């Protein structure tokens, strides 16, 4: 009998040693605590040093409750969201003070040991450091809040079904729905059919091959939903645990309604400024234009007086050929005057931005027609070096001619303080690499390097009566057409203005 009892005791010791070995080798912290509110450490395995920084001897007898973060100390009593109960065990996630003074996140599963009468004797806990997990989850929650609050449209799209599995608040609002009244969207529903089959599919394929796609594709808006939006970015996400196939896409878009309205307002203001500039130009040329119109009117008057004299001097039949010739000359001069007025009205009328196809060489000649009298008054000679292929340009004809007029008038005015008797203004056109290049050159005194630096700034002018807007507006017009306008001068031997625009502006 004594041998049987000895065998049982040996087995119990061996079993206890195994449990002790398991506890000592565990990477989790296993601890025993008093059942009192102080939660005093009774025993703990060596993992405590790795988890909390204390040695076993240091922490035994320590008041464990004092190490809780103040906000987490009463989680169990309050049954906080971080506490879960299952089959007599509590799992609590909380902040706990490390020996170094900083707090770490612990996840502890605890069980209360009771005596035969149900009175708590001690608490056994298994704890692990989950700081990295909590920080990662906190970052995810923070990112989720940012995504949800973002003004951009953010959507997740399943690769196989093309169902939008997530839309943030901005996406729901822009698509004319509400997050509270969930609507199932599929990707092909938010684009025009043709756009989905071409641009959107190309974007998805590019993202699948290269990871991301950037661009601009318009989103189809619901009827009576006065918004404008487009997708800007597609990101492909792969299943890294299986076959690396694309699992879903992140689609990022933007509501560009305000941007579009601002651009429209800017275009209208630009058109108004360009119109004002044309009116000012015509006002500055008023004397020359009046003289140019006066010439055909004076000729008409002279022809009419001559015809009347012939009628008074003899019979109508004998003077009929001379009168008929006078009528032809009167008609020619009347058409000339009408063309001048028509050209002037066309130039100064308020118009929307409209692209038409026209011959740039003809426009150069027509613009010079505006300035014949001004050129005569300043002894200017116009020389043309026009591209013999007679290139056509698709652009706003009136605005391009406005730029030409500004540059030619600047070239004429460049001779105002010059003593040269020969005063050429050379207009050149050239087609090269999909661009039409136009140059206006004078041989005046030139522009200093300091003057070149501020040449295109608004409200800066060397004229006593100028507003300093002509070149600034001209530069804006050319840049709106996708081109460039610049000037070159050595400050001594004249100035060359150059601008180039694509043959077919978008």
- For every residue of 70-116, DSSP letters joined together read TTTTTHHHHT-TTEEEETTEEEEEEEEE-TTS-EEEEEEEEEEEE-T
Structure tokens that stand for 211 in this block: 């990871």
384, HSE (Cβ side, Cα atoms, 13 Å): 13
Contacts of 28 (CB under 8 A, 6+ apart): 47, 126, 127, 128
Q: Which of 382, 299, 379 is nearest to 336 (CA)?
A: 299
Q: What is the pLDDT of residues 417-469, one digit of tens each?
A: 788 888 999 999 999 888 999 999 999 888 888 888 878 776 555 554 444 45
Q: What pLDDT score was predicted for residue 104?
A: 94
- Return the residue matching tokens 């203004």: 425
Q: What is the pLDDT of residues 106-147, one digit of tens each?
A: 999 999 999 888 888 899 999 999 999 999 888 888 888 888
Q: Is the dihedral of CA 282, 413, 464, 493 positive or negative?
A: positive
Q: Has residue 188 got a pLDDT over 80?
A: yes
- The size of the chain, in residues, is 506
Pick from 85-89, 266-270, 432-436, 457-461: least confident = 457-461
Q: What is the pLDDT of residues 217-237, one digit of tens each?
A: 999 888 777 788 999 999 999
Structure tokens that stand for 410 in this block: 């600047």
**Is residue 411 within 8 Å of 370, Cβ to Cβ?**
no
Partners of residue 435 on adjacent β-strands: 432, 502
Kindly state the percentage of the chain with pLDDT values over 70.
77
More confident residue, 115 or 80: 115
Q: What pLDDT score was predicted for residue 465?
A: 46
Q: Has residue 298 got a pLDDT over 80?
A: no
Own/partner contacts of 404-408, CB < 8 Å, gap of 24 or more, are 404/363, 404/364, 404/367, 404/438, 404/440, 405/281, 405/347, 405/367, 405/370, 405/371, 406/277, 406/281, 406/470, 406/471, 406/473, 406/474, 407/440, 407/474, 407/497, 407/499, 408/367, 408/368, 408/371, 408/440
Mean pLDDT of 399-406: 84
Distances (CA, A) of 420 to 376, 424, 447, 495: 15, 10, 16, 15
pLDDT bin (cut points 50, 70, 90) of residue 195 is very high
More confident residue, 83 or 358: 358
For the chain, the average pLDDT equals: 81
């Amino acid at each position: 009998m004594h041998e049987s009892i000895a065998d049982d005791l040996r087995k119990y010791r061996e079993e206890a040693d195994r449990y002790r070995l398991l506890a000592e080798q565990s990477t989790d912290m296993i601890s025993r605590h008093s059942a009192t509110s102080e939660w005093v450490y009774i025993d703990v395995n060596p993992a405590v040093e790795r988890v909390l920084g204390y040695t076993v001897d240091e922490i035994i007898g320590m008041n464990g409750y004092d190490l809780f973060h103040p906000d987490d100390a009463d989680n169990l009593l309050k049954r906080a969201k971080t506490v879960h109960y299952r089959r007599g065990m509590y799992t609590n996630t909380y902040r706990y003070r490390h020996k170094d003074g900083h707090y770490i996140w612990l996840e502890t599963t605890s069980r209360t040991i009771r005596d035969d009468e149900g009175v708590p004797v001690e608490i056994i806990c298994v704890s692990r450091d989950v700081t990295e997990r909590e920080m990662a989850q906190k970052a995810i929650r923070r990112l989720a809040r940012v995504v949800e609050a973002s003004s951009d449209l953010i959507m997740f799209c399943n690769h196989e079904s093309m169902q939008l599995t997530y839309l943030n608040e901005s996406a729901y609002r822009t698509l004319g729905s509400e997050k509270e009244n969930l609507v199932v969207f599929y990707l092909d529903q938010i684009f025009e059919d043709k756009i989905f089959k071409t641009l959107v599919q190309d974007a998805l394929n590019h993202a699948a091959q290269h990871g991301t796609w950037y661009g601009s594709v318009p989103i189809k808006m619901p009827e009576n939903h006065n918004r404008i939006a487009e997708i800007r970015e597609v990101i492909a996400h792969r299943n890294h645990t299986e076959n690396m196939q694309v699992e879903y896409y992140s689609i990022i878009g933007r509501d560009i309604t305000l941007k579009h309205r601002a651009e429209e307002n800017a275009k209208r203001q630009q058109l108004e400024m360009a119109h004002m500039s044309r009116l000012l130009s015509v006002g500055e040329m008023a004397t020359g234009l009046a003289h140019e119109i006066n010439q055909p009117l004076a000729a008409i008057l002279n022809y009419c007086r001559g015809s009347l004299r012939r009628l008074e001097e003899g019979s109508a039949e004998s003077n009929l050929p001379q009168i008929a010739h006078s009528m032809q000359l009167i008609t020619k001069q009347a058409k000339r005057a009408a063309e001048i007025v028509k050209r002037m009205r066309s130039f100064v009328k308020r118009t929307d931005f409209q692209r038409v196809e026209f011959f740039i060489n003809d426009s150069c000649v027509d613009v010079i027609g505006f300035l014949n009298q001004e050129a005569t008054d300043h002894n200017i000679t116009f020389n043309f070096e026009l591209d013999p292929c007679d290139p056509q340009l698709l652009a706003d004809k009136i605005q391009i001619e406005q730029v030409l007029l500004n540059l030619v008038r600047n070239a004429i005015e460049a001779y105002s303080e010059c003593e040269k008797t020969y005063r050429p203004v050379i207009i050149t056109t050239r087609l090269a690499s999909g661009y039409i290049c136009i140059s206006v050159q004078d041989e005046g005194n030139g522009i200093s390097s300091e003057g070149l630096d501020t040449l295109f700034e608004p409200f800066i002018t060397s004229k006593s009566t100028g507003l300093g807007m002509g070149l600034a507006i001209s530069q804006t017009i050319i840049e709106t057409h996708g081109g460039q306008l610049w000037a070159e001068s050595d400050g001594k031997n004249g100035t060359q203005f150059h601008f180039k625009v694509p043959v077919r502006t978008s």
